[in-house]
Amino acid sequence: MQLNPSEISELIKKRIESFESHAEARTEGTIVSLTDGIIRIHGLAEVMQGEMIELPGNTYALALNLERDSVGAVVLGSYNHLSEGDTAKCTGRILEVPTGDALLGRVVDSLGMPIDGKGPIDTKTSSPIEKIAPGVIERKSVDQPVQTGLKSIDSMVPIGRGQRELIIGDRQTGKTAVAIDAIINQKGTGVKCIYVAVGQKASTIANVVRKLEEHGAMEHTIVVAAAASDSAAMQYIAPYSGCAMGEFYRDNGEDALIVYDDLTKQAWAYRQVSLLLRRPPGREAYPGDVFYLHSRLLERASRVNAAYVEKHTNGAVKGKTGSLTALPIIETQDGDVSAFVPTNVISITDGQIFLESDLFNAGIRPAINAGLSVSRVGGAAQTKIIKKLGGGVRLALAQYRELAAFAQFASDLDDATRAQLERGTRVTELMKQSQYSPMDIADMAFTLFAVDKGFMDDVEVNKILDFEAAMLSHLKSNNADLVNTINETGDFNDDIANQMKAAVESFKANGIW
Amino acid sequence: MSDNTTAARPYAKAVFEMAQAESKQKEWSDVLALLTDVVNNEEMRDVLQMPQMGAAAKGGLLIDICSDKLSDSNRNFVKLLAENGRLSLMTEIFTLYEELRAEAESKIEASVRSAYPLTDIQIKAMTEALKKKLGCDVTLVTEIDATLIGGVVIKAGDLVIDGSAQARLDSLAYTLSH
């Protein structure tokens, strides 16, 4: 016979000793109907919106509809053992999830219960899943970067700590890949990551977890998974649970990055729950509060000032700011960004990274549309050197797009126009980057420097990436000091520019590609 | 069930306000109890659900059955319900009427389930304690339920005070297994 670890007599003794029992006064009601995971309860006069309701068999439900003569609630998890006439009790509590460092490296469900088979999680703290976002006074402006390690993003649509940057695009355009690369690049930076998977196949989630493990990124990552086979209620609350886990780091003066993959499916789950609760449908059959669904979630991603952190930790952490950066993902249908949910989330976030299937199929990966992608606050947070050198790249691409359209018809072009077109094709080529190979600041700086100062103008377009790889490895072996300085300080001045120029020239003179 | 309550509420309120104005709360209460019994009679329920019978006929039938016990306003009430096709709401109207009446008279009925018969002293103490907690007159209805093993479960409206041995054993079982 097999014994559980919890059946050791010492433990049993302790538990019996600490067990306190007293008569409890609670409000009770009766389940009058049970359909598709939605229960209607008669009675329960004192229930609150969003309160947990205790049902028989250690099941809980979430009160969502408070009506005059009944309460509509959604069962969290399986509802096969419930039946009409069962009693439902108020708990007086809002749904809570465990938080803390013990969750790092683990895969949990929407309630914070482990689902990776690695045993129980020993957390000391917990936090309600729905919380009010910090107010204006408690915030600090975004001025530190989150390096994603993708040169096209860090140079053209930089992301700051505490920012909300939307990743939007059709299916199969590499949205998840961008987010996973960003998570992998946080290794060793102290930024904790939370990956919330909503409505995906369990096999897809398992693949992501395996990739994160392969690249050593699981040590700083929590995966919150609500797979497609989980109930709609679990998919609806998963982002809030993940956010509560991320807020733990923000409120303790640390930095965290959270990826919601993806909010379209969460909106679908919420629509399902709402329609079953008989809430009136609106545009695209979504209920009236889908905007609030996403705005209250994304507003919790923020940078908070030292006073907030000090107050929150009761003075244990002094002089440190905290941040929670959010990368929500939205999947569009056939590039339609004017659908309901995409427009909502675009308007809530501080910018978007727009991925296109045409670019993806043309081999430009990450398939970022540089014209439509923006970052409204990230510029202030960009590393000085990338900001100085990335400006030229953005400009070159903008001019290239304008010229490329009508240059197709022109037979002969003047030299200036041809130079711009040549530069544009090279920059486009250079923005390609393979998956799982994030770059550090110095690598990026040298690449941008080389193309911006014209060192790549005489390199064939199909050799650009080879040239880049050869140059970076040459610099790492011959100019290690300069590379380290750039990585550590991120400064840019005439002295550094001259050193970089000399280094690149020396490579062009001696190197092969 | 809850939809029926919502539909029954305006009727109950109207009846109660009328009864209050005429100080005939007790009479209306008796009439509603009688009507509820009749409507819930199995044969009667089948008859009232017959689609080929008109609304007026159903109302008339109900009035004929209880004729000697109904006043004029009682009859009008039955006719109105029949006209609106709401005779099936009689049970809910009666429940809501009784709730309104208890509220107005600041009375509440509490049920006490216990494993063993309660002594008069216990009942008196419990009534006093509940009176203090709920702030109104409490009538206790006792019931024996051996499955509780020991202790009592008090239920007043939606409020449940569970002091039974069974509940404590359940929570001990939960603590040990989690």
Could you report the per-residue pLDDT of A302-332, keeping only the tens digit for each? 999 999 999 999 999 999 999 999 999 999 9
Asked if B158's CB is within 8 angstroms of A27's CB, the reply is yes
- Report chain B residues whose CB lies below 8 A from the CB of A14: none
Say whether pLDDT at A30 is over 60. yes
Residue A284 has what DSSP assignment? G
Q: List for chain B the helix, strand, coil content (%; round to 5).
A: 65, 15, 20
> Are A23 and B1 an interchain contact pair (Cβ–Cβ within 8 Å)?
no
How close is the nearest chain A Cα to the Cα of B134, in Å? Answer: 12
> Does residue B2 carry a pLDDT above 70?
no
Q: A45 to chain B: which residues are within 8 Å by CB?
A: 157-158
Q: For all residues of chain A together, what is the average pLDDT? A: 93
Q: How far apart are the first and last CA of chain A?
A: 67
- Looking up residue B48, the CATH number of its domain turns out to be 1.10.520.20
CA distance A80 to A37: 9
**For residue A68, pLDDT beyond 90:** no
Domain closes at, from B41, B68, B102:
B102
> Are residues B63 and B128 located together in one domain of the fold?
no
Confidence category of residue A4, pLDDT binned at 50, 70, 90: low
Residue A427 buriedness (CB in 10 A; 0-12 / 13-18 / 19+): buried
Non-local (6+) Cβ contacts of A495 within 8 A are none
CA–CA distance from A225 to each of A114, A205, B91 (Å)?
A: 10, 7, 48
The three-state secondary structure class of A226 is strand
Note the ipTM here: 0.75
Same domain, B111 and B167: yes
Q: Are B81 and B26 in contact (CB under 8 A)?
A: no
pLDDT at position A74 over 70: yes
What is the tally of helices (H) and strands (E) in chain A? 16, 19
B97 and B113 in a common domain? no
Chain B neighbors of A58, CB-CB under 8 A:
174
Q: Are A388 and A492 in contact (CB under 8 A)?
A: yes
| Cα–Cα separations (whole angstroms), residue A311 to A99, A253, A299, A321, A362 | 19, 11, 20, 12, 52
Q: Closest chain B residue to A33 measured between Cα atoms?
A: B1
Q: Are residues B81 and B161 in the same domain?
A: no
Q: By mean pLDDT, which of A3-7, A52-56, A62-66, A114-118 is the weakest?
A: A3-7
Q: Which residues of B touch A67 (CB under 8 A)?
A: 2
Q: Are B123 and B140 in contact (CB under 8 A)?
A: yes
> Structure tokens of B16?
């109660």
Shortest alpha-carbon distance between residue B114 and chain A (Å) = 14
Q: By C-alpha distance, which of A375, A352, A354, A379 is closest to A364? A: A354
Q: Which residues of A touch B (CB under 8 A)?
A: 6, 12, 15-16, 19, 21, 23-29, 32-33, 40, 42-46, 58, 67-70, 89
Beta-carbon contacts of residue A272 (< 8 Å; ≥ 6 apart):
A232
Give the CA count within 13 Å in the CB-facing half-sphere of B53: 16
Interchain proximity B176–A21, CB inside 8 Å: no
The CA-based angle B176-A226-A63, given to 5 degrees, is 70
pLDDT of residue A5: 60
List CB contacts (< 8 A) between B9 and chain A.
68-69
Residue B58 and residue B122 share a domain? no
Sequential DSSP letters for A4-67: -GGG-HHHHHHHHHH-----EEEEEEEEEEEETTEEEEEE-TT--TTEEEEETTTEEEEEEEE-
Cα separation, A353 vs A371, in Å, equals 10
Distance from A101 to chain B by nearest Cα, in Å?
Answer: 21
What are the φ/ψ torsions at residue B66 (nearest 5 degrees)? -105, 20
Q: How far apart are CA A482 and CA A499, in angstroms?
A: 8
Residue A294 is predicted with a pLDDT of: 98
One-letter amino acid for residue A476 of the chain: K
CA A97, distance to chain mean position in Å, is: 19
Structure token digits, residue A222: 């929590």
- What's the confidence (pLDDT) of residue A408? 74
Task: Measure the CA–CA gap between B93 and B157, rounded to whole angstroms.
Answer: 17
Domains of chain B: total: 2
Is B70 found in the same domain as B123?
A: no
Output the CA–CA distances (angstroms, integers) from residue B103 to A44, A164, B8, B23, B108, in the order listed: 18, 53, 17, 16, 7
What's the pLDDT at B69? 85
Q: Which of B154, B14, B126, B160 is nearest to A45 (CA)?
A: B160
Identity of the residue numbered A168: I
**Domain limit, last residue, from B69, B102, B135:** B102
For the annotated catalytic residues of A, the residue numbers are 376
Q: How far apart are the first and last CA of chain B?
A: 36
- Domain termination residue (choose one: B45, B74, B102): B102
Mutate to test the interface with B, among A7, A39, A69, A84 (most CBs of B within 10 A): A69
**Subunit contact A32:B172, Cβ cutoff 8 A:** no
pLDDT at A232 over 70: yes
Which residues of chain B are at the A interface, by a Cβ-Cβ cutoff of 8 Å? Answer: 1-3, 5-6, 9, 151, 155, 157-163, 167-168, 171-172, 174-177
Average pLDDT over residues A496-504: 94
Chain A closest-CA separation from residue B65 CA (Å): 32
Q: What is residue A2's predicted lDDT score, i.e. its pLDDT?
A: 63
B23 and B57 housed in the same domain: yes
- Residues pairing with A74 in the sheet: A38, A62
How are beta strands B152-156 and B107-114 bridged, if at all? antiparallel
Examine the domain organization and report whether B52 and B122 are in the same domain. Answer: no
* CA–CA min distance B163, chain A (Å): 4
Per residue in A140-175, pLDDT tens? 999 999 999 999 999 999 999 999 999 999 999 999
User: Does B140 share its domain with B172?
Assistant: yes
A218 is written with which tokens? 């699981």
What percentage of residues in chain A have a pLDDT greater than 70? 98
Q: Which residue of A has its CA nearest to B172?
A: A19
Q: Is the peptide bond before A262 cis (omega within 30 degrees of 0)?
A: yes
> Is the Cβ pair B158, A28 closer than 8 Å?
yes
- The reply to whether residue B158 touches residue A32, judged by beta carbons under 8 angstroms, is no
Averaged confidence pLDDT in chain B:
88
Mean pLDDT of B90-105: 90
Confidence grade of residue A49 (pLDDT, cut at 50, 70, 90): very high
Instruction: Tell me if B62 sits within 8 A of B74, measured CB to CB.
Output: no
Alpha carbon of A49: minimum distance to chain B alpha carbons (Å): 17
| Nearest-neighbour CA in chain B from A193: distance (Å) | 29
Mean pLDDT for A84-109 is 94
For residue B174, list chain A residues with Cβ-Cβ distance below 8 A: 58
CB contact under 8 A, B161 and A43: no
SS3 A87: strand
For an interface test with B, the pick among A6, A10, A24, A278 (most B C-beta atoms closer than 10 Å) comes out as A24
Mean pLDDT of B98-126: 89
Tell me whether residues A15 and B161 touch, CB distance under 8 A: no
Nearest to A509 by CA among A483, A465, A478: A478
* Between residues B164 and A192, the one the model is more confident about: A192
Q: Which of B2, B159, B177 sits opposite A70 (nearest CB)?
A: B2
Q: What is the pLDDT of residue A1?
A: 59
Is B66 found in the same domain as B9?
A: yes
What is the extent of the structural domain holding B139? 107-177
DSSP A151-180: HHHHHHS-EETT-B-EEEE-TTSSHHHHHH
Task: Give per-residue pLDDT as tens, B131-177.
Answer: 888 888 888 899 999 999 988 999 888 889 888 898 888 888 877 77
Percent helix / strand / coil, chain A, rounded to 5: 40, 20, 35
Contacts of A6 in chain B (CB under 8 A): 176-177
Query: According to the model, what pLDDT value does residue A201 have?
Result: 96
Nearest-CA distance A63 → chain B (Å): 16
List CB contacts (< 8 A) between B177 and chain A.
Answer: 6
Residue B113 with chain A: CB contacts under 8 Å: none
**Closest Cα in chain A to B171:** A21
Could you read off the pLDDT of A255-296 as tens digits, one per residue? 999 999 999 999 999 999 999 999 999 999 999 999 999 999
The model carries a pTM of: 0.89
pLDDT of residue B93: 93
Which residue in A21, A25, A42 is closest to B2 by CB distance?
A: A42
Query: In this structure, are residues B87 and B39 in contact, taking their beta carbons and an 8 Å threshold?
Result: yes
* Mean pLDDT across A476-483: 92
> Would you state the pLDDT for residue A37?
92
To which H or E segment does residue B24 belong? none
Is residue A114 scored above 80 in pLDDT? yes
Q: Which residue has better confidence, A485 or A15?
A: A485
CB-count burial class (<10 Å; 0-12, 13-18, 19+) for A159: buried
Nearest to A32 among B2, B160, B174 (CB): B2
The amino acid occupying position A213 is E
Nearest to A348 by CA among A440, A261, A263, A288: A263
Check CB contact under 8 Å for B158 and A67: no
Residue B88 CB: number of other CB atoms within 10 A?
A: 16
pLDDT at A416: 87
Other CB atoms within 10 Å distance of the CB of residue A30: 16
Based on the fold, state whether residues B153 and B70 are members of the same structural domain: no
Which among B2, B151, B157 has the least Cβ separation from residue A69? B2
Tell which wins on pLDDT, A468 or B105.
A468
Q: Which two tokens stand for residue A54?
A: 């205790």
- In this structure, the answer to whether residues B118 and B41 fall within a common structural domain is no
Phi, psi of A193, deg, nearest 5: -120, 145
Strand partners, A283: none
Six token digits for residue A16? 């019996």
| pLDDT value of position A410 | 66
CA distance A274 to A292: 14
Confidence band of B31 (pLDDT split at 50, 70, 90): very high
b/e string for A68-93 if b means 16 or more Cβ within 10 A?
Answer: ebbbbbbbbbebeebeeebebbbeee
Nearest by CB: B162 against A16, A23, A29:
A23
Lowest mean pLDDT among A62-66, A406-410, B4-8: A406-410
What are the chain A neighbours of B157 within 8 Å (beta carbons)?
45
